[in-house]
Amino acid sequence: MEQTFMKEKGILYLVLTMSLPMVISMMVNSLYNIIDSFFVAQISGTAMTALSLVYPMQNLINAVTIGFGVGLNAVVAYYLGAQDFVRADKAATQGLVLNTLHGLFLSIICITVIPNFLRLFTTDALTIEMGVRYSRIVFLFAAIISLDLSFEKLFQAVGKMTVSMVSMLCGCIANIILDPILIFGIGPFPAMGIEGAAIATGLGQVLTFVIYLLYYFLRPIPVHIDVHYLMPEKEIATRLYSIGISASLTMSLPSVMISCLNIILAGFSQAYVLVLGVYYKLQTFLYLTANGIVQGIRPLIGYNYGAKMYQRVHKIYLTALFLTIIIMTAGTALCLIYPTELMSLFTSVPENVQAGVEALRIICIGFIASSVSVTACGALEGLSKGIPSLIISMCRYLVIMLPAAFILSRSLGAVGVWHGFWVAELLTAVVALAVMWKSTRFTD
């Protein structure tokens, strides 16, 4: 039950053993996203466009619940490192309850606003109808998503990365199996179309939650959920929200960015909106894999920071940065060598494929540079430094990205938006290095 291995084992060994299960989980989750989109694309191009437009709202739900889960993860890991086990239990209990409330609130809000949200980007009645039909089912499971992610971060905080991996894998695999069955109607199941995709997603999330509960009750962990700790305490709530709000805002920024870019691209052609949606499905395979490294180091950094072992904190960050660069280099190579094959998974229209190939080859220029900002954000969250992490993400998604995309699109057309990605990544990497240097000037 003791977590001292986090400050005793070798750095590379720790980062690999903590990150590898999460890398596998993220890769499978990314594969699920791609397969899910592949099946939806078989319904029609309109269905795929509808999913692309709904994606920012889905990402908002994930952003808020994952972001608060990051706060839960960092606070629990910090208290464990400081050997304050009562506060670790309180943080886990209160964090779980608060995040469930966040999910319920988001479910109501998103279901209410989604029709008007879709009308911001398209006037096509069928696209709006399909988007509403899909999203209203998916959003019903927002509270389950928040519970899944809270338990995921809790298990990660105590070093049980394999549990998170198994739970996520089971949910994703169930989703992949159910997608064709419910979308096209196989065996006794009726063909439900886009609603089938939404139901498959929700059922996969329910399965993940059930597996977490079984693990928690059958194989107890060092942190406990206890009804006696339900009453919020100011110190713990402040810690949870100070990290959680920053992390949530950080994860919400891509939704804002995509929505703004959709407006710019829609001025040229709806085909570019589809290409952006496809790109974001593809890039999840890459960035969620890199995020597996970040998730692995977050509790390690939090624990060692709580134990005041600052040199280990530096070494953990540098090791994670090296591994992330390897992942992003591989992603760059794939986009340069196989862009046509990747785009053809989602559209068979030659013009769309060609536009997508051009987009991938331009955007991937910034992948390696993005390793710096991605790793820095994760490390800062592990240090409970939410604001510096938010500053980096603001630059990456809004402050630099949107002006660059808009200005370049005025001179280069829609292609200018793609160039905005690598420009933003390079400039944000410089900002990230400066923020990390300022935020980690501590010594043993």
Highest mean pLDDT among 241-255, 295-309, 424-438: 424-438
Q: Report the alpha-carbon distance of residue 55 to residue 75 in Å, rounded.
A: 30
Q: Report the alpha-carbon distance of residue 173 to residue 36 in Å, rounded.
A: 11
What is the torsional sign of CA 328, 334, 337, 339?
negative
Task: Report whether pLDDT(35) > 80.
Answer: no
Model pLDDT, residue 33: 65
The answer to whether 414 and 394 have CB atoms below 8 angstroms apart is no
Model pLDDT, residue 444: 46
The answer to whether 228 and 52 have CB atoms below 8 angstroms apart is no
Higher pLDDT, 23 or 113: 113
How far out from the chain centre does Cα 274 lie? 20
As a whole number, mean pLDDT of residues 175-203 equals: 89
- Residue range 227-265, pLDDT digits in tens: 888 888 888 888 888 888 887 887 778 878 988 998 899
Q: Report the alpha-carbon distance of residue 291 to residue 19 in Å, rounded.
A: 9
* pTM for the model: 0.72
Model pLDDT, residue 357: 92
Task: Report whether pLDDT(420) > 90.
Answer: yes
Both tokens of 326, joined, read 């390897």
- Residue range 84-105, pLDDT digits in tens: 889 999 999 999 999 999 999 9
Report the chain's mean pLDDT, rounded to a whole number: 87
How far out from the chain centre does Cα 326 lie? 20
Which pLDDT band holds residue 442 (cuts at 50, 70, 90)? low
Query: For 179, how many CA atoms within 13 A lie in the half-sphere containing its CB?
Result: 20
> CA geometry: angle at 35 spanning 354 and 58, to 5°?
90
Task: Report whether pLDDT(202) > 70.
Answer: yes
Q: What percent of the chain has pLDDT over 70?
A: 95
Smallest CA-to-CA distance from 273 within 123, 48, 37 is with 48
How far out from the chain centre does Cα 372 lie? 17
Which pLDDT band holds residue 281 (cuts at 50, 70, 90)? confident
Q: Report the alpha-carbon distance of residue 225 to residue 93 in Å, rounded.
A: 5
Model pLDDT, residue 31: 66
As a whole number, mean pLDDT of residues 391-406 equals: 93
As a whole number, mean pLDDT of residues 397-426 equals: 94
